[in-house]
Structure 1
Amino acid sequence: MKSIEIRETGGPSVLQLAERPCPELTGPDDILVKLAAAGVNPIDTKIRSNGPMLPAGFPAVLGCDGAGVVEAVGEAVTRFKPGDEVWFCYGGLGGPVGTYAEYIVLDNHLAQAKPRSIEMVEAAAAPLVLLTAWEALHDRARLHEGHRVLIHAGAGGVGHVAIQLAKAAGARVCTTVSSPEKAAFAHALGAEYCINYQEEDLVGAVMEWTGGQGVDIAFDTVGPAVFRQTIPAMAHYGDLVTILDPGPELDLKEARMRNLRISLELMLTPMLRDVPRARVQQGEILRRCAKLIDRGDLRIHVSETFPLEQAAAAHALLEQGHVTGKLALTSA
């Protein structure tokens, strides 16, 4: 089978097309999936640049997100049969298992039935960002109807689904964007108020929108500087969640005065630390997101697709920044 692998760290050019044996079922709970597409995520570019996150190391096939058709099932599998369409987040952190390939074998409990109403490309691009946004908003920040929520980078991969998940929960949403075009995109997803961070003061804009109260929940998907800037925009007793390391130079005096709950979100933990309970929970999240997608309350925006062989071009585009929504690779 064709796959894209890395044998050393570096720029996009280290992504090389390779031939590998097609994986085979090794356990009674396994399924063999012929991949139709794979999502491209920032974690992929970080592993390419910094090295695998798992001991399996090099050579490594990248890609955590995938969607495809079940081709074979282990003897204990009752959830799926050949021909079923599935989506999942699995692999891509080190060693030979990843979704930048034509086939993958995984435990059937890690996959879910693909949403019926979307194509394979959209399904493949969705799991990692959906799990990240859901865990951040629902599990970390305890999102409820009526909350005022600030989503940073609302036109990005995580941000554009976070807006929709917050809106579906009955929250009021504001977001940061970098252009009028991205503001229009975010408004169409359900954002009530957009802040152009290149032209407007974040705290001033948030306070104007909230009548001086600040937001109940803020979701940082950008990094330490934005995390720090967000603290004075929070309501007292609010929840501030970040998917990145907030950095060593962090003054939490104002956060403490506001009695903020600060949470860290990493949806990769179940793969990195082998936490079965969390894997089950993530499967339930994907199942619930599929329902939202199929009833029209959640959509996945893929701005551009690349053939598997052009993975390096996809990485180069992603690293330029400002991609709207997601990128995906197609292997069919």
Structure 2
Amino acid sequence: MRAIVMTAPGAPEVLQLAEVPQPTIESDRQILVQLKAAGVNPIDTKLRSRGTFYGDRFPAVLGCDGAGIVAEVGAAVTKFQVGDRVYFCNAGLGGHPGNYAEFATVDERFVAHKPKTLSFAEAAAAPLVLITAWEALCDRGRISSGMKTLIHAGAGGVGHVAIQIAKLKGAKVCTTVSTTEKADFVTSLGADQVIFYPQTDFVKKVLDWTDSQGVDLAFDTVGGKNFAQTFAAVKIYGDLVTILSPSADTNWKIARDRNLRISLELMLTPMLQGLNKLQQHQAQILAECAQHIDRGDLKIHLAQTLPLAAAADAHRLIEAGSMIGKIALEI
């Protein structure tokens, strides 16, 4: 089968189209999926440039997100049958081959039926960002109706679904963006307050919006100095969830003085640690999100699709920054 492989870390050029053996079902609970599209995420670009989590296993096939049609099922599979359309986030971290390929095997417990109203490319763009936003807001932040939330980079891949999930839960949403185009986009998703962070002190704007109290829950998708700056925008005893590692020189004083609850969100942990029950929980998140998508309550913004052979170009687009929504590879 065709796949995009990397034989060493490096620039996007290390991603090359090649012929590799087609995977085969190795356990009774696995399904073989003929992939129609693969999502491209920032984690893919980091693994390509720095090396995978399994640095000695080359060549590697990247791509955590996939969508396609079930081509074969293991003897103990009960949830799916041949011909079912599915989507999932699994593998692509350097161990088990990922989804920049024509076929992939995956345990049925980690898979959900594809939203009927999405194309394969749209569905492939969805899993990682849906799970990340859901876990951050619902599992970590315990979001509930009436809460005021701050979501950084609301036009991004994770941010744009986080806004919608927060609104589905009845929360008010304030979000940061860098352009008027992005402001229009997040407003269309239901954002209640939009802050142009390059020209504006976002902390002051948030405090103005919350009568000087701060938000109940902040979601940091940017990291760096943005993380520590957000401390002052969260109410006393409030929650701040980040998807980035806090830097070693982070000054925690304001967070401590405000008695903030800080949470770290890495949706890859169940895959990396082999935590099957938590991967099943993530598949349940995808199943619930599929219902919202098919009801029209949740949208995935697919900014661009490229053919599988253009995976390197997809990585360049992500690394250039300023992306609205997601990118997918059509297979």
Relative to the length of structure 2, the TM-score reads: 0.98
How far apart, CA to CA, are the structure 2 residues paired with 1:150 and 1:312?
Answer: 33
Aligned to 2:280, the other structure's residue is in SS state: helix
Find the counterpart in structure 2 of residue 150 from structure 1.
Answer: 150
Shift of 1:54: 2.8
Structure 1, unaligned stretches of length 5 or more?
A: none
Find the counterpart in structure 2 of residue 289 from structure 1.
Answer: 289
How far apart, CA to CA, are the structure 2 residues paired with 1:96 and 1:256?
Answer: 41
Q: Give the residue type in structure 1 aligned to 2:119.
A: E
Find the counterpart in structure 2 of residue 21 from structure 1.
Answer: 21
| Aligned pairs (5 A) from 1:1-332 | 1-54=1-54, 57-95=57-95, 97-331=97-331
Shift of 1:275: 1.0
Deviations along 1:229-273, whole A, 9 cap, x unmatched?
101111111100000011111111111111110000000001111
Structure 2, unaligned stretches of length 5 or more?
A: none
Report if the CA contact (8 A) 1:112-1:286 is conserved: yes
Bigger mean CA offset, 306-315 vs 56-65: 56-65
How far apart, CA to CA, are the structure 2 residues paired with 1:93 and 1:185?
Answer: 31
Percent of residue pairs identical: 57
Q: Compared with structure 1, are the counterparts of its residues 144 and 96 closer, same or farther at alpha carbon in structure 2 (3 Å cutoff)?
A: closer
Report if the CA contact (8 A) 1:87-1:113 is conserved: yes
The runs of at least 4 aligned residues of structure 1 exceeding 4 Å deviation read: none
Aligned residues: 331
Report if the CA contact (8 A) 1:134-1:285 is conserved: yes
Relative to the length of structure 1, the TM-score reads: 0.98
Deviations along 1:156-214, whole A, 9 cap, x unmatched?
00000000000000000010000011000000011011100111111111111111111
Bigger mean CA offset, 180-189 vs 51-60: 51-60
Report if the CA contact (8 A) 2:39-2:329 is conserved: yes
Shift of 1:96: 5.4
How far apart, CA to CA, are the structure 2 residues paired with 1:95 and 1:282?
Answer: 19
Shift of 1:56: 5.9
Shift of 1:25: 1.2
Aligned to 1:322, the other structure's residue is in SS state: coil
